């Protein structure tokens, strides 16, 4: 996947904030890391980038550097919590996000996430937090080290060990290097001095979003008592505890719990696709390039075929990564046919295919239908395949239409909203078929009920 371009926005008090976005589906996620460095994270943290990519298939994923850190304005020397909330507000307004998920992925990022959710309860549909108050004894000891003038490498490694626990030396070294690239020692000292004044307890009771609180006993910057106090102050919260000793194991459990909390299933860990095409009932995705004949006339045969090949490769990759099987015996030249075992996966693939097509300056007709198929070597046949193709032919450019069957299957699992397009008479199909369009806004009502990780 190409590196997302870095963009900038000005805050209400005139600070330049760097950010990037990934994906473009209907469930936006703002992921807050503090400290951070946007370009470096894309090179160093492949597991985290994998989680970003998986989430971006269901919605726009937003990352940004706070003031004083990374690629944002690094001349800032004061870090009041209200000012850091302005950074998030600026990015949200720039992207015109109306309702979205917020993940405070670090103890400091969680404070910003909680403060924003308390100040803007109408915008945050779900919230993920770590403990937000630094443990006083640990904070005071680390502040004393900085005040004594210890070197940046020593202090960064000490904070990294407190952040990750003392049992993962390699990961702590990587995180310490990350701290040093994210800011100067002087900035970090100023930041550390100001976080001692942060207190979000009065804001927690104002949070209306369902909230997941993550805690690991190995992280010495937070205490179980702080986590319990947070949970008691947020009206709709649940707690997940990751007690594994290694950072990697804790991270895997954290990402799985977050995915289940937000989406109802662990979308961060793609399942290995079946080597055989499914027999019997299947979910069928049909994608066709809009006006391929006209594009060939305008671009010329060679230029169009280059774009079509690039799109075909990108779409097949998206299909593989969402657990689908592209039908090799039915390569369409101007599009693709694929089958899935889950409606949620087919919808994620359709959204990803639409995004890849837009990147190439093209548009697709997209449809998803479910029904029995006949498998024969590397091909599939049947009336359900024909219906999928006919539905695609009725879709507007860039629109994803699904049959009533798919809508019923995906309504409580895919995390998307559907708009009724009524019944359509399809060529060669006797009975009208009711179809639905995948909407561009999140379906907030989907997330009622307890999705507590086991």
Residue 270 is assigned to a structural domain of this protein: no
Instruction: Give the model's confidence band at 442: pLDDT under 50 very low, under 70 low, under 90 confident, else very high.
Output: very low
The mean pLDDT of the chain is 81
Contact 110, 132 (CB under 8 A): yes
Q: Which residue has the higher pLDDT, 134 or 161?
A: 161
Mean predicted confidence (pLDDT) in 347-359:
87
Per mean pLDDT, which of 140-149, 236-245, 314-323 is the most reliable? 314-323
Instruction: Give the model's confidence band at 11: pLDDT under 50 very low, under 70 low, under 90 confident, else very high.
Output: very high
- 4 pLDDT above the threshold of 50: yes
Residue 289 is assigned to a structural domain of this protein: yes
- 375 pLDDT above the threshold of 70: yes
- 21 pLDDT above the threshold of 80: yes
Residue 306 is assigned to a structural domain of this protein: yes
- 26 pLDDT above the threshold of 70: no
Residue 274 CA to residue 26 CA, distance in Å, equals: 28
**Domain range for residue 310?**
280-446
Instruction: Give the model's confidence band at 87: pLDDT under 50 very low, under 70 low, under 90 confident, else very high.
Output: very high
Instruction: Give the model's confidence band at 72: pLDDT under 50 very low, under 70 low, under 90 confident, else very high.
Output: very high
Residue 371 CA to residue 404 CA, distance in Å, equals: 11
- 276 pLDDT above the threshold of 60: no
Spell out the SS3 assignment of 239-270: EEECCCCCHHHHHHHHHHHHHHHHHCCCCCCC
**3-state class of 227 per DSSP?**
helix
For residues 254 and 289, state if they share a domain: no
- 447 pLDDT above the threshold of 60: no
For residues 312 and 228, state if they share a domain: no
Picking from 228, 263, 298, the residue at the C-terminal end of a domain is 263
Q: Which residue has the higher pLDDT, 279 or 116?
A: 116
For residues 335 and 259, state if they share a domain: no
Mean predicted confidence (pLDDT) in 40-67:
81
For residues 141 and 284, state if they share a domain: no
The set of residues, in sequence order, having a beta carbon less than 8 Å from that of 228 and lying 6+ positions away, is: none
For residues 210 and 346, state if they share a domain: no
- 444 pLDDT above the threshold of 50: no
The set of residues, in sequence order, having a beta carbon less than 8 Å from that of 181 and lying 6+ positions away, is: 37, 40
**3-state class of 338 per DSSP?**
strand
For residues 308 and 225, state if they share a domain: no
Instruction: Give the model's confidence band at 165: pLDDT under 50 very low, under 70 low, under 90 confident, else very high.
Output: low
Mean predicted confidence (pLDDT) in 242-249:
62
pLDDT-wise least confident of 6-10, 12-16, 196-200, 438-442: 438-442
- 331 pLDDT above the threshold of 50: no
Q: What pLDDT score was predicted for residue 211? A: 93
Q: What pLDDT score was predicted for residue 359? A: 81
Contact 429, 15 (CB under 8 A): no
Respond yes or no on whether the N-terminal peptide bond of residue 216 is cis (omega within 30° of 0): no
- 272 pLDDT above the threshold of 50: no
pLDDT-wise least confident of 72-86, 340-354, 375-389: 375-389
For residues 356 and 240, state if they share a domain: no
Output the DSSP codes for 160-177: HHHHH-TT-HHHHHHHHH
Picking from 207, 238, 263, the residue at the C-terminal end of a domain is 263
Residue 362 token pair: 């093209």
Which of 371, 277, 280, 366 lies closest to 328 in space, CA to CA? 277
Residue 249 is assigned to a structural domain of this protein: yes
For residues 220 and 306, state if they share a domain: no
CATH number of the domain that residue 337 is part of: 3.30.70.1230
CATH number of the domain that residue 128 is part of: 3.40.50.1820
Contact 187, 97 (CB under 8 A): no
**3-state class of 77 per DSSP?**
coil
What percent of the chain is predicted at pLDDT more than 70? Answer: 80
Residue 273 is assigned to a structural domain of this protein: no
Secondary structure tally for the chain: helices H, strands E: 16, 16
What percent of the chain is predicted at pLDDT more than 90? Answer: 28
- 7 pLDDT above the threshold of 60: yes
Residue 141 token pair: 């000891």
Mean predicted confidence (pLDDT) in 11-35:
89
* Tens-digit pLDDT profile for residues 174-190: 778 888 889 999 998 89
* Tens-digit pLDDT profile for residues 90-107: 999 999 998 899 999 888
Mean predicted confidence (pLDDT) in 139-146:
72
- 275 pLDDT above the threshold of 50: no
Q: Which residue has the higher pLDDT, 250 or 358?
A: 358
- 452 pLDDT above the threshold of 50: no
Q: What pLDDT score was predicted for residue 103? A: 94
For residues 250 and 360, state if they share a domain: no
For residues 43 and 130, state if they share a domain: yes
Picking from 231, 263, 295, the residue at the C-terminal end of a domain is 263
**What is the number of structural domains in the chain?**
2
């Amino acid at each position: 996947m190409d590196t997302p371009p870095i963009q900038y926005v000005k805050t209400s008090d005139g600070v330049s904030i760097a950010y990037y976005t990934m994906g473009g589906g209907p469930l936006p996620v703002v992921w807050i890391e503090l400290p951070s460095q946007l370009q470096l994270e894309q090179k160093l943290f492949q597991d985290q980038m994998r989680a970003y990519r998986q989430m971006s298939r269901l919605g726009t994923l937003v990352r940004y550097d706070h003031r004083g850190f990374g690629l944002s304005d690094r001349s800032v020397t004061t870090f009041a919590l209200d000012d850091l909330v302005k950074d998030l507000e600026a990015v949200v307004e720039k992207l015109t996000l109306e309702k979205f998920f917020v993940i405070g992925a670090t103890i400091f990022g969680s404070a910003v996430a909680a403060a924003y959710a308390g100040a803007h309860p109408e915008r945050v549909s779900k919230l993920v937090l770590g403990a937000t108050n630094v443990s006083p004894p640990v904070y005071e000891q680390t502040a004393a080290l900085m005040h004594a003038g210890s070197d940046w490498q020593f202090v960064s490694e000490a904070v990294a060990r407190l952040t990750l626990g003392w049992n993962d030396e390699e990961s702590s070294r990587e995180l310490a290097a990350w701290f040093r690239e994210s800011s100067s020692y002087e900035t970090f000292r100023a930041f550390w001095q100001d976080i001692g004044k942060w207190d979000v307890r009065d804001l927690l009771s104002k949070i209306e979003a369902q909230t997941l609180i993550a805690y690991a006993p190995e992280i010495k910057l937070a205490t179980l008592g702080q986590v319990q106090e947070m949970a008691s102050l947020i009206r709709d919260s649940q707690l997940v505890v990751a007690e594994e000793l290694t950072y990697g194991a804790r991270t895997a459990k954290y990402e799985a719990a977050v995915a289940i909390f937000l989406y109802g299933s662990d979308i961060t860990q793609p399942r290995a696709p079946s080597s055989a095409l499914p027999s019997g009932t299947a979910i069928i995705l049909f994608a066709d390039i809009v006006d391929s004949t006209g594009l060939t006339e305008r671009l010329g045969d060679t230029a169009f075929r280059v774009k079509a090949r690039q799109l075909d490769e990108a779409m097949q990759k998206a299909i593989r990564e969402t657990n689908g099987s592209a039908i090799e015996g039915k390569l369409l030249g101007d599009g693709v046919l694929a089958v899935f075992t889950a409606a949620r996966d087919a919808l994620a693939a359709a959204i990803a295919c639409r995004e890849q097509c837009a990147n190439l300056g093209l548009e697709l007709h997209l449809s998803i239908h479910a029904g029995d198929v006949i498998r024969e070597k590397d091909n599939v046949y049947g009336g359900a395949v024909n219906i999928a193709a006919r539905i695609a032919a009725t879709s507007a450019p860039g629109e994803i239409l699904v049959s009533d069957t798919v809508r019923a299957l995906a309504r409580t699992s895919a995390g998307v909203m559907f708009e009724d397009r009524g019944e359509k008479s399809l060529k060669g199909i006797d009975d009208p078929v009711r179809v639905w369009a995948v909407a561009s806004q999140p379906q907030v009502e989907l997330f009622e009920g307890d999705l507590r990780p086991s």
